[in-house]
């Protein structure tokens, strides 16, 4: 690993210099005509819109414009355009794990190199489904391969979304994946992951779920509060954020108290913790569809709790929505097969109480918490844009039929 680092640091500056020299003096200008453009932030809808893109960013957005821009126009006048979507919970290095056997098969029998090759398909699928940004929350035994995938995408080697990566994730000894315990070791692990290129630190805060007689989903918390606080403090000290896998009472409570940035899954969240999440601006990435996807298989393998967790999850989602928690779109794709379009998550959010606009917002403006440059089609933002036929504000299912994708001004699907 050390040798690789030295090699990379020697090679990087020269590659960057070549890339800069090769760039044309004038950025490419492209013009896109959209029949309809949705602005998720305020729900405003514009018609007959001309979007001028310069290089990787939006330069101008004009409504009812028939002016010939003097550039070739990408004609989407029979389409509805909206900002590129964000999936804030993916696993590009995993190809579905309903059962422990599926999981072991990939982690124990496949090489990291082979899994990285499969992941190049995953990232391409994500982009073609309209996800121009993803937050990949751990590699599931594939080390730092997510950093390499991100690098390959950024260098134009393979097509894929913008990526924020979490590398290896952290759990306690005796759980998974193995890690030494104690606040000092926790801090050390955070430093190591950041040094290898982690954007986010992912922690597993609970496990061993069971439903109490009063219907509350209970768990065994993993880290002590001292350990969890050390992880959050070290990550924040280095301007990195922490995503916490927390499905039940104690995992969520401890994570929220420690001040993580996002709660992943959150099948059960107490009312008190919902209030704290609002106060501390901690967002909720519910990943509903995957719960339904794995429940039957896991119940058949003996863990019936997964079926109960679906009902508890819906009730929590409704309380979180009502309580004003920031809800960000995330699917756990990779936990289910990448051949399934992750946009299947949208109808579940609507079924659980969101309006279609709120669901779209969760994958655009609300998710822009991750980067100021995404989530809206406005001058200065990245030209990340998707288009479909019909009106997703009336039919949320249509988001599974995106047929045009632009990322950073480059057409990825047409």
Binding footprint of Zn ion on the chain (CB under 5 A)? 332
Burial class (CB in 10 A: 0-12, 13-18, 19+), 113: exposed
Please report how close the Cβ of residue 267 comes to Zn ion at its closest, in angstroms: 13
Give whichever of 60 and 99 is closer to Zn ion, judged by the CB atom. Answer: 99
C-alpha torsion sign, points 381, 244, 143, 92 = negative
Please report how close the Cβ of residue 248 comes to Zn ion at its closest, in angstroms: 15
Stated as kind and residue range, the H or E segment containing 277 is helix 271-280
In whole angstroms, what is the distance from residue 132 CA to residue 137 CA? 16
Burial class (CB in 10 A: 0-12, 13-18, 19+), 174: exposed
Q: Are 115 and 314 in contact (CB under 8 A)?
A: no
Residue 38 bridge partners (DSSP): 45
Stated as kind and residue range, the H or E segment containing 178 is none
Please report how close the Cβ of residue 138 comes to Zn ion at its closest, in angstroms: 7
Please report how close the Cβ of residue 333 comes to Zn ion at its closest, in angstroms: 9
In whole angstroms, what is the distance from residue 409 CA to residue 168 CA? 32
Residue 195 has, within 13 A of its CA and on its CB side, a CA count of 9
β-strands 85-90, 73-83 pairing: unpaired
Give whichever of 58 and 252 is closer to Zn ion, judged by the CB atom. Answer: 252
Please report how close the Cβ of residue 294 comes to Zn ion at its closest, in angstroms: 11
Burial class (CB in 10 A: 0-12, 13-18, 19+), 229: middle
Please report how close the Cβ of residue 91 comes to Zn ion at its closest, in angstroms: 6
Give whichever of 204 and 404 is closer to Zn ion, judged by the CB atom. Answer: 204
In whole angstroms, what is the distance from residue 53 CA to residue 58 CA? 4
Stated as kind and residue range, the H or E segment containing 351 is helix 345-351
Chain residue whose CB lies nearest Zn ion: 332
Give whichever of 234 and 332 is closer to Zn ion, judged by the CB atom. Answer: 332
Please report how close the Cβ of residue 193 comes to Zn ion at its closest, in angstroms: 16
Nearest alpha carbon to residue 52 among 230, 44, 249, 37: 37
Give whichever of 314 and 332 is closer to Zn ion, judged by the CB atom. Answer: 332
Instruction: State residue 58 phi and psi, 5-degree precision.
Output: -75, 130
Q: Are 261 and 235 in contact (CB under 8 A)?
A: no
Please report how close the Cβ of residue 135 comes to Zn ion at its closest, in angstroms: 11
Give whichever of 146 and 332 is closer to Zn ion, judged by the CB atom. Answer: 332
Nearest alpha carbon to residue 404 among 153, 128, 162, 159: 128
Residue 323 has, within 13 A of its CA and on its CB side, a CA count of 23
Nearest alpha carbon to residue 167 among 204, 206, 141, 205: 141
Neighbours of 303 (CB within 10 A): 16
Please report how close the Cβ of residue 246 comes to Zn ion at its closest, in angstroms: 12
Please report how close the Cβ of residue 39 comes to Zn ion at its closest, in angstroms: 30
Give whichever of 335 and 409 is closer to Zn ion, judged by the CB atom. Answer: 335
Please report how close the Cβ of residue 293 comes to Zn ion at its closest, in angstroms: 12
Nearest alpha carbon to residue 258 among 238, 275, 233: 233
Give whichever of 145 and 402 is closer to Zn ion, judged by the CB atom. Answer: 145
């Amino acid at each position: 690993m050390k040798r690789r680092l030295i090699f990379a640091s020697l090679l990087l500056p020269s590659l960057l210099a070549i890339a800069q020299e090769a760039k044309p003096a004038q950025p490419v200008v492209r013009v896109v005509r959209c029949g309809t453009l949705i602005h998720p932030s305020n729900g405003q809808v514009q018609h007959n819109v001309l979007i001028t893109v310069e290089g990787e960013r939006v330069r101008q957005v004009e409504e009812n414009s028939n002016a010939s821009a003097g550039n070739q126009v990408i004609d989407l006048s029979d389409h509805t355009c909206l900002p590129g979507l964000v999936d804030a919970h993916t696993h590009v290095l995993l190809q579905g794990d309903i059962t422990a056997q599926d999981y072991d098969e990939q982690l124990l029998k496949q090489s990291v190199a082979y899994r990285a090759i499969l992941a190049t398909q995953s990232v391409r699928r994500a982009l073609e489904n309209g996800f121009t940004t993803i937050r990949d929350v751990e590699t599931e035994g594939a080390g730092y391969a997510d950093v390499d995938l991100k690098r390959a995408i950024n260098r134009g080697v393979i097509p894929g979304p913008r990526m924020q990566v979490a590398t290896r994730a952290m759990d306690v000894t005796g759980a998974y994946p193995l890690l030494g315990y104690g606040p000092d070791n926790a801090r050390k692990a955070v430093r190591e992951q950041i040094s290898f290129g982690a954007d986010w630190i992912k922690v597993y805060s609970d496990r061993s779920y069971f439903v109490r007689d009063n219907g509350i989903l209970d768990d065994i918390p993993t880290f002590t509060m001292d350990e969890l606080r050390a992880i959050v403090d070290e990550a924040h000290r280095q301007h990195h954020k922490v995503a916490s896998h927390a499905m039940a009472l104690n995992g969520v409570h401890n994570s929220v108290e420690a001040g993580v940035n996002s709660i992943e899954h959150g099948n059960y969240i107490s009312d008190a913790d919902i209030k704290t999440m609002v106060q501390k601006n901690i967002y909720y990435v519910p990943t509903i569809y995957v719960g339904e996807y794995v429940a039957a298989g896991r119940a058949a393998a003996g863990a019936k709790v997964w079926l109960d967790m679906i009902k508890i999850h819906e009730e929590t989602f409704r309380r979180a929505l009502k309580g004003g928690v920031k809800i960000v779109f995330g699917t756990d794709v990779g936990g289910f097969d990448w051949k399934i379009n992750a946009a299947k998550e949208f109808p579940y959010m609507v079924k659980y109480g969101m309006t279609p606009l709120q669901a779209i917002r969760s994958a655009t403006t609300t998710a822009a918490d991750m980067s100021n440059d995404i989530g809206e089609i406005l001058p200065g933002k990245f030209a990340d844009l998707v288009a479909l036929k019909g009106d997703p504000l009336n039919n949320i299912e249509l988001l599974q039929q995106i047929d045009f994708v632009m990322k950073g001004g480059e057409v990825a699907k047409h």
